[in-house]
Structure 1
Amino acid sequence: MKKIFSFFTIFSLCLLMSGNINAKAATAPPDVESEAAVLMDVNTGEIIYGKNENKPMAPASTTKVMTALLTLENAKLDDKVTISKVPPTAEGTSIGLREGEIYTVNDLLHGLLLESANDCAEALAEHVGGSMDNFVKMMNQRAKALGATNTNFVNPSGLYEPGHLTTAHDLSLMLKEAIKNPTFVKICRTQVYKFPPSNLDGNEKWVSTKDELIRKNSHFEYKYALAGKTGYTTLSKHTFTGAAEKDGHVLIVSMLYSQSKQNYFPDAIKLFDYGFNNYEPIKLYGKGDEVANYNVTKSLTIPLVATKDVYYLINKNDYKPNISETDIKNYLAPKIQIKDANLEKASFKQGDEILDSTVTVKGKDLCGLKLASNIDREYKGLLPSSTAYKNIKPFVIALSIAVISIFLVTFRKYISFKKKQSIIKQKYNNMAQ
């Protein structure tokens, strides 16, 4: 009877934790009209859905995500920007900037991200880069640093020019970085913004969001929308990149070359819903969690902490309903493979990154993870607790005392000798007289 009970217990656990047992039929991703599209999970960077995701295409005003990112990284919001003669000549959408007007970086960022104003893009490019050409170099360098290797920018606004290209995947990487900045998100979520009166004529300028997922009471308002940027030129057609958040789960959708906004806003919503309904990030390790120990010597073990959150994206269809996150993690069996390093003579502080590791899930590499020490350690050559140090210390003290004693005895003899010499010399002088 006990054998039968044990068999059914083990069998039930296998059913519960097996990733091969589907709780429900898998849901197919939706069809989207745009020529290229990506649905990305932000926590893992994993592509849930891709369509021509690495095909270079014209990004139109989604370019301004990079322009905003560089501005936020290299300028202060209250910086004053004096408009030169160049931005007022910008083609396409503008807010009518005039040469000699003075606005803050914050004002111009609202014009850039809400109204998609090309004159604001050029004004910010000159302020941050010193010139348009230098700013474009900064854009391309930053894109490459983010892993956007199929991107080449020619201008800061997204106006159609030969060679001004990105991909749905690269665009997602740029927005993924931009939404880390709370100011970027705050501006994208602003409904309407009023510029201060112009210093030239006192007129006020107003801008409002063009993102229908964020615009209140729009036909396409999406309650999980977090931030985004639209774009359009006659040659690039409609473009879009946006982020949405539901219960802490953040997704990004990027689409290039969509024929109509009547298509790309609903398509974005369909992709977001598909991601939220079918996928879930499981946190394997949290930043600051003590995750391993490393033996530096036979007598010294260093506790190690994770330097970032580590997530694994699961397809919820692969698991039984209501299965706990703990059971899922047990099934995934994450492990940290530490790369050996000689730390025997190293000194470091708590929080210093000291080792590299690889996180594996079900025996397969997931990602790299830097590990930091959870204690201070100062190397002094011989460890204070060593037997050798304890044996040497009394010897050094005894030797020091002996040397001092010999010095004192010698010094006393020298003083006595000098006194005798002085007395003899005085007697000799008296006899001579």
Structure 2
Amino acid sequence: MGIKKHNAAIKYIGVFLLTASVLLTNFYAVRAEDTGTVGTSAQAAAVIEQNSGRVLYNKNADQELPMASTTKIMTAAVALKYGNLSDVIEVSATAAGVEGSSMYLECGEKITLENLLYGLMLLSGNDAAVAIAEHIGGGVDGFVELMNKTASELGLSHTHFDNPNGLPSDTHYTTALELAKITRYAMSMPEFVQIVSTKSKTIPWEGKGYDRSMTNHNKLLGSLEGCIGVKTGFTKAAGRCLVSAVNRNDMTLICVTLNDPNDWADHASLQNSMFQKYSQNVLTSTEMIIDKISVAGGMLGYAGVSPNKTYTFPVCENDSVSVDTNVDSENMKFPIKSGDVVGTGTVTVNGENYGNFELLANSDIDLARPSKGSFWNDMKNDIVYVFQYWLSMFR
């Protein structure tokens, strides 16, 4: 991978400030809508990278569609946001009697929120969803308000929830891309990852002489390399819906398909293709020296400059990525101490701004003098300045 450094408006002054533009060439490109490399039978699909949120694959990803039990990704995320895993919940008759897929809760049964979440995500329990909603939201309606509030906080404008389990409703919908964003949010919670990556779980069953055993419906956990979740779904109205997350080589990809009759195979194909095409790259790191301040043209040494943020990004061979730095010479005050902000920088991918950061000095600069005048006058002054500096060391 080639790295080229382009200097912007370098001027010799008493304190020589280097403004650099670092161009990273031969990087890995990502198009916002990539449908040419691999196909899918899904009505809508999206693949995003977990860390950056970047869209790697997009097929009708903004089309509003029902999402069946993949709804429960948001249900679990809201439960983890507002509840405590150790909470003990008494199952109501309403929750125990809900239709559809079930973890077979019984009215009056006492069970922890943690175990309800396992039943929700492994067995797709609609009864678990209602029990959680009643506990966290004071009822299904209150919990649905929290779901929609969270969607709004995530900036989702094409998602609306009517219930916590995904049962059919005309105003219960999302898009492939927004469901991927919901999953990205949920996957930022370690407890969620722990639950959805579990292949099987045995929990106590109150009032029974045996335990409740649960096996995850997501068979990709055992068949797709690196799969760490997340959720299946099906209704006649929504068709087969599936969300998967796969981690390989320090990169996690989230794949969503809606109304896909061949979802297992499509996810394997999409995930494998995206991992083959894209890789995670460190664009900036707090340990990287990407610019420098030189005192008196370097005669008194240099102070390295590093970004205050680390940016990683999935890229492929056609991508254009640049990291541009600008030392703030106009407002710089001396002495400079290690950790002082001395400039700013930007990360640009294919002409679009991806991130901004500050530049921090890596070491102290105790003596420095602002420059005035012409090039030759500044050089003369710098020689005098250096001589005086060295003399001061022997006094």
CA distance in 1, matches of 2:142, 2:344: 36
Residue 233 of structure 2: aligned partner: 231
Residues 35, 59 of structure 2: 8 Å contact kept: no
Letter in 2 for 1:271: L
Shift of 1:341: 12
CA distance in 1, matches of 2:330, 2:215: 55
CA distance in 1, matches of 2:330, 2:175: 39
Q: Which 10-residue stretch deviates more, 203-212 or 58-67?
A: 203-212
Residues 336, 360 of structure 1: 8 Å contact kept: no
Letter in 2 for 1:251: L
Q: Indicate whether 1:142 and 2:155 are aligned.
A: no
TM-score scaled by length of structure 2: 0.72
CA-to-aligned-CA distance 1:216-269 (integer Å, 9 cap, x gap): 3xxxx11221211000011111101111112112211100012x3xx1100011
Residue 269 of structure 1: aligned partner: 268
Cα 1:87–1:279 shift into 2, 3 Å: same
CA distance in 2, matches of 1:128, 1:312: 37
Residues 286, 309 of structure 1: 8 Å contact kept: yes
Q: Indicate whether 1:96 and 2:104 are aligned.
A: yes
Residue 347 of structure 2: aligned partner: 359
Q: Indicate whether 1:182 and 2:171 are aligned.
A: no
CA distance in 2, matches of 1:134, 1:354: 49
CA-to-aligned-CA distance 1:318-371 (integer Å, 9 cap, x gap): 4xxxxxxxxx9xx84421468999899xxxxx79x9998642257x23323354
Secondary structure of 1:148's aligned partner = coil
Cα 1:56–1:341 shift into 2, 3 Å: farther
CA distance in 2, matches of 1:181, 1:341: 43
Shift of 1:163: 0.4
Q: Indicate whether 1:368 and 2:376 are aligned.
A: no
Cα 1:338–1:77 shift into 2, 3 Å: farther
Letter in 2 for 1:210: H
Secondary structure of 2:264's aligned partner = helix
Shift of 1:124: 1.1
Structure number with higher relative contact order (C-alpha < 8 Å, ≥ 6 residues apart): 2
Secondary structure of 1:58's aligned partner = coil
Shift of 1:44: 2.8
CA distance in 2, matches of 1:71, 1:338: 46
CA distance in 2, matches of 1:341, 1:84: 67
Residue 242 of structure 1: aligned partner: 244
Secondary structure of 1:63's aligned partner = helix
Shift of 1:314: 2.1
CA-to-aligned-CA distance 1:88-122 (integer Å, 9 cap, x gap): 12111112212221111111011000000001111
Letter in 1 for 2:273: Y
Residue 162 of structure 2: aligned partner: 154
Residue 110 of structure 1: aligned partner: 118
Q: Indicate whether 1:47 and 2:47 are aligned.
A: no
Residues 321, 347 of structure 2: 8 Å contact kept: no
Which residue of 189, 212, 219 maps to 1:212? Answer: 219
Cα 1:142–1:286 shift into 2, 3 Å: farther
Q: Indicate whether 1:127 and 2:115 are aligned.
A: no
Shift of 1:204: 3.2
Residues 279, 314 of structure 1: 8 Å contact kept: yes
Cα 1:125–1:370 shift into 2, 3 Å: farther
Residue 77 of structure 1: aligned partner: 85
CA-to-aligned-CA distance 1:273-298 (integer Å, 9 cap, x gap): 1101111232101357676789xxxx
Equivalent residues, number: 327
CA distance in 1, matches of 2:329, 2:59: 41
Query: Within 5 A, what are the aligned runs for 1:341-352?
Result: none
Letter in 1 for 2:212: K
Q: Indicate whether 1:334 and 2:317 are aligned.
A: no
Letter in 2 for 1:279: Y
TM-score scaled by length of structure 1: 0.66
CA distance in 1, matches of 2:292, 2:140: 51
Letter in 2 for 1:142: T
Shift of 1:201: 4.8
Letter in 2 for 1:110: Y
Residues 244, 251 of structure 1: 8 Å contact kept: yes
Residue 374 of structure 2: aligned partner: none
Secondary structure of 2:255's aligned partner = strand
Secondary structure of 1:150's aligned partner = coil
CA distance in 2, matches of 1:355, 1:177: 32
CA root-mean-square deviation: 3.7
Cα 1:19–1:234 shift into 2, 3 Å: closer
Pick the structure with greater CA Rg: 1
CA distance in 2, matches of 1:282, 1:41: 12
Unaligned runs of 5+ in 2: 1-23, 29-33, 294-302, 334-338, 368-395
Residue 387 of structure 2: aligned partner: none
Residues 29, 49 of structure 1: 8 Å contact kept: no
Larger strand fraction of residues = 2
CA distance in 2, matches of 1:100, 1:92: 20
Residues 280, 312 of structure 2: 8 Å contact kept: no
